Amino acid sequence: MGAAAVLLVGSEVLFKEDLAPATCRWCDRAADGTDSLNRLDRWGRGLTGTTGAQRQRAGNWSNIVGGLLPLGTLGAHYAFSRQAGASGAVFLQDTGIIVESVLLSAVLNQATKFIAGRERPFVHVLPEAQKPFTEHPSDNNLSFYSGHTSMMFSLVVSAGTVAHLRGYPHQPWVWAVGLPLATSVGLLRMGAGKHYLTDVAVGAALGTASGLAVPLLLHGRTSSAPEGLSLQVTAGPRGAAVAGRF
């Protein structure tokens, strides 16, 4: 987990200008320069704000929701675990699993962005001469896939999966509240002109995969709460198995 955090911070803070492609590799343009954006993303681009102020507002809200959702998710998980009689040590263990899921999702996303080099929607519509003068030129070609969306889905899904494995009685609230909020982050990123619909859809899918895989496959264990219930998750050559005692 520590290595993943170092890779993520280093690639984002120290080496981003060196690793990010200076020009798009995935430009959504034909050889003659005409727009070749696929129909799905062309339709989804209708969610993008039509003015700079609208795009800025959507981007700000995506950051606000994306910043508050981790705090709310972990806070709810703590409340549910304590209500179910779990110890503080169990909560810390659960938090470590959730953070591990998010870090795995983030590192995979960062590597994919650098390799894919897809031009962001708001850059795509600019005249060629203006593209080097955006606020963060090193970020121009990191559209695929949405890191905000991927991280939010990995957060919510891992928290929900851990709560389910622990048998916390109020864990459905994690899914009922968390998933719509994670989805809203992806839609707001589209509204800000930062991502296409396919960027957000892939981010949601891979974030969900990370949120499921880390708790189920890497941390199979017996639940400690509530009393009278135990769950054991094991991984084998043909998939994962869940056994329980009630």
The per-residue pLDDT for range 121-137, each reduced to its tens digit, is 999 999 999 999 999 99
* Whole-number Å distance between alpha carbons of 101 and 111: 16
pTM given for the model: 0.85
Query: 91 with 78: CB under 8 angstroms?
Result: yes
* Whole-number Å distance between alpha carbons of 233 and 217: 8
Query: 190 with 132: CB under 8 angstroms?
Result: no
Instruction: Note the pLDDT tens digit of each residue in 167-183.
Output: 999 889 999 999 999 99
Query: 136 with 169: CB under 8 angstroms?
Result: no
Query: 44 with 171: CB under 8 angstroms?
Result: no
pLDDT, position 240: 47
Buried (b) or exposed (e) across 128-138, using 16+ Cβ within 10 A?
Answer: eeebeeeeeee
pLDDT, position 245: 44
- Nearest residue to 20 (alpha-carbon basis) of 128, 194, 134, 136: 136
Q: Decide: residue 62, CB within 10 A, 0-12 exposed, 13-18 middle, 19+ buried.
A: buried
Indicate the pLDDT class of residue 158, thresholds 50, 70 and 90. Answer: very high
The residue that leads in pLDDT, 196 or 8, is: 196
Which tokens go with 173? 């609230």
- Average pLDDT score, the chain: 88
Q: In this structure, what DSSP letter does residue 132 have?
A: G
The DSSP result for 210-236, as a single string, is: HHHHIIIII-------STT-EEEEEEE
Pairing of strands 230-236, 239-245: antiparallel
